A and B are shown apart, each in its own frame.
Chain A
């Protein structure tokens, strides 16, 4: 069953075009130029119940806007969306009780109060049964290992602890759909890892539907089977992570360890040399010529260890963003009628 169904969703903003300088600001008081910014340009998306989907894209691609549309925070310019059968921007209580949105950049807990007081407020607002509330809260704070911090004012918590409290608050009412907007932003590796582990466990146990945006590929690789890539308001890829690597990475990384200290000086003929620290070297090799290169390397040198890997995900994604941006620009250029 579809938990999320989106058809032709569009959102454009009218923004005031402000020119630089004081004079421009003053004339802008009387005569304003506006420009339409298309944040989301008609996307289609189907997400099944129980899926864990990553939403990737460069800054300003429209990821957050899409999440905000799906949570009913903003209304679209055009198009349709149904989440759990509800139209989000109607802001019905029946819908709002069934999902949650967590934003890594914003906090909803009362800043000067201990998190447990905000939790109690959520209990009242979401009408959670008291016994159920205690049980869920205890389970969540134990899983996230923040029980000790329940009584400390939120402003005194570390960023990691605060994020865990935010997650707890969002999950108290056991939402069926969860939108996560960069939940690990700014966190150290350990805290990131803890949150990943928690999300994985929680999602597997409850089979809830999660849409996650993140700039950390580790989050994505650890959590999501499906990746949707959005660039300049359009979906440019929808599939598994492996698909992306296959589709967008034309390279592999070849790591070599030579048997003796004598390093060959002509490695560059195989591809771009990424790193040489004797007796090891890393070379970027065209995917199509990898077999050829391997046999040539093995026959020319005495090799102690060898591995062929996909390039780091960050790099693939970055390449892909560049590529799609270029394609989109070309498409635009070809649409301009030649005078």
Chain B
């Protein structure tokens, strides 16, 4: 009995975060409403684009809506569970607040990765569910199978884990650098890049870029793999990507864990 109940601790984090969010009710509502409206505006924009073209890089309108829903699932999960914590880490390092996390008889990475839950960000999760329910049946020749129900959520989660790994690695570098507040910018670049089908990165510049962000920093896998599994027929390319996504997730998680632990050894704390 050397370990606390991680689930129990996580539920308490979630509960405490909810209590706090409810204390600042208006803030909670504004946050939820603004992120949902941003996604709806995005949706409107793509509807507009599809009035002028039947498909983008071979993705027709409803397939692309599935892609957008996937983006929303992944982003809302990351923003609810990991984003506030990764961002807080840099601040904890700079102010020495990480001291207290290091004292607790619990895995430090777990503690700093999950102690805040931003419930408002889950608003988009429900919008995504609606959108998916609307778009999937309209895809031509689509036949729903049990596999879809199993694989799609699993791959959405794998995508979340990949983004988490990248994010916590970046945040952990603030232990060495003293301060690293580029996280938000970084998040913006990544989501901007990964929220399009990977086929659009093609040509002299596009192909190397696609390979870099698939095989080296696997952020293109995050949304593309689950979205393809649902919107496309299962072909050999899909199977290869799906297999690769599992490997990429495991390697990302292990890599981030290694960096995090290494960084903690160099933690210097701050003045009293």
Contacts and interface: CB of A to CB of B under 8 A. Distances in A.
A117 B269 contact: no
A68 interface: yes
Interface stretch (B9-17, B118-126, B188-196, B211-219): B9-17
A126 B2 CA distance: 10
B103 A121 contact: no
Contacts of B12: 120-121, 124
Given A103-B272, A106-B97, A112-B23, A125 B4 contact: yes
A73 B105 contact: no
A94 interface: yes
Interface in A118-134: 118, 120-121, 124-127
A153 interface: yes
Nearest to B1: A127
Interface residues of B, number: 31
B19 interface: yes
Contacts of A153: 23
A97 interface: yes
Given A75-B265, A93-B106, A106-B100, A121 B9 contact: yes
Contacts of A103: 99, 272
A122 to B, nearest CB: 9
B84 to A, nearest CB: 13
Contacts of B95: 106
Contacts of B19: 113, 117
Nearest to B100: A108
Interface in A67-96: 68, 71-75, 91, 93-94, 96
Contact of B16 (A64, A72, A110, A181): A110
Contact of A71 (B9, B103, B272): B103
A25 interface: no
Given A117-B16, A121-B16, A127-B4, A72 B102 contact: yes
B104 to A, nearest CB: 5
Interface string B79-120: 000000000000000011101101111101001000000000
A96 B103 contact: yes
Contact of A126 (B97, B105, B108, B268): B105
Nearest to A69: B269
B272 A124 contact: no
A91 B103 CA distance: 8
A105 interface: yes
Given A73-B267, A75-B265, A110-B20, A121 B2 contact: no
Contact of A68 (B16, B20, B105, B269): B269
24 contacts: A68-B99, A68-B269, A71-B102, A72-B103, A73-B102, A73-B103, A74-B267, A93-B105, A93-B106, A96-B104, A96-B105, A100-B103, A101-B99, A106-B95, A106-B99, A106-B100, A110-B20, A112-B24, A121-B9, A121-B13, A124-B8, A125-B105, A127-B1, A127-B4
7 closest pairs, A vs B, by CB? A96-B105, A93-B105, A108-B100, A97-B105, A64-B272, A124-B9, A112-B20
Given A101-B103, A126-B4, 17 more contacts: A68-B99, A71-B99, A72-B102, A72-B103, A93-B105, A94-B2, A96-B103, A101-B99, A103-B272, A106-B99, A108-B100, A112-B20, A117-B19, A118-B16, A125-B9, A125-B106, A182-B272
